[in-house]
Amino acid sequence: MSNGVIVGASRCADCGEVRLPAVERCMSCRSTDVIACEVGGAGRLLAVSQVHTPLRDGQPWLAVLAEVDRGLRVVGLGRPPLAVGDDVVVVAEQEGVPVFAGGGGA
C-alpha cells in the first residue's frame, strides 16, 4: 500500500462490484468468482479526528475516513495538516493501515 494505491480489495468478475477488504463471495450477486485487485488511493477526506490516547511515539495522531476510487470509504491514519473536504492520497502503510496525506503527498 503506497504510491497512491490500496491493495487487498476484491472485484466480482460477474457484476464488477469492488469490496475492501477483499471478500470470497460477492455481496451483491453472491458469485464466488471474485478476483484480488488494487484500488486508487486518491480521494477526498470525509472525516478527521485527532486522537490523544493512546499516544503514538508520544504524539497525538489523526484517524481519518476517506472516500477513494469507486466510492470506497477507507479508515486510516492521517498526516497533518488535514481538514474535512481536503483532497488526499495514500502515501504509506503503517501496520497494514493506509496513511493519507494532503493531495500533494506531503
Average confidence score pLDDT of the chain: 89
Contact in structure between 73 and 87 (CB atoms under 8 Å): no
Per-residue pLDDT tens digits for 71-95: 899 999 999 899 999 999 999 988 8
Could you tell me the pLDDT band of residue 59, with boundaries at 50, 70 and 90? confident
At the topology level, CATH places domain 41-102 in OB fold (Dihydrolipoamide Acetyltransferase, E2P) (2.40.50)
Q: Residue ranges of the domains in the chain?
A: 5-39, 41-102
Radius of gyration, alpha carbons of the chain: 15
Q: pLDDT > 90: what percent of the chain?
A: 68
Euclidean distance between CA atoms 59 and 57, whole angstroms: 6
Give the pLDDT score at 22: 92
CA nearest neighbour of 88 among 50, 56, 69, 37: 69
- Stretch 44-50: mean pLDDT: 96
Question: With a threshold of 0.85, does the pTM exceed it?
Answer: no
CA nearest neighbour of 3 among 44, 45, 41, 43: 41
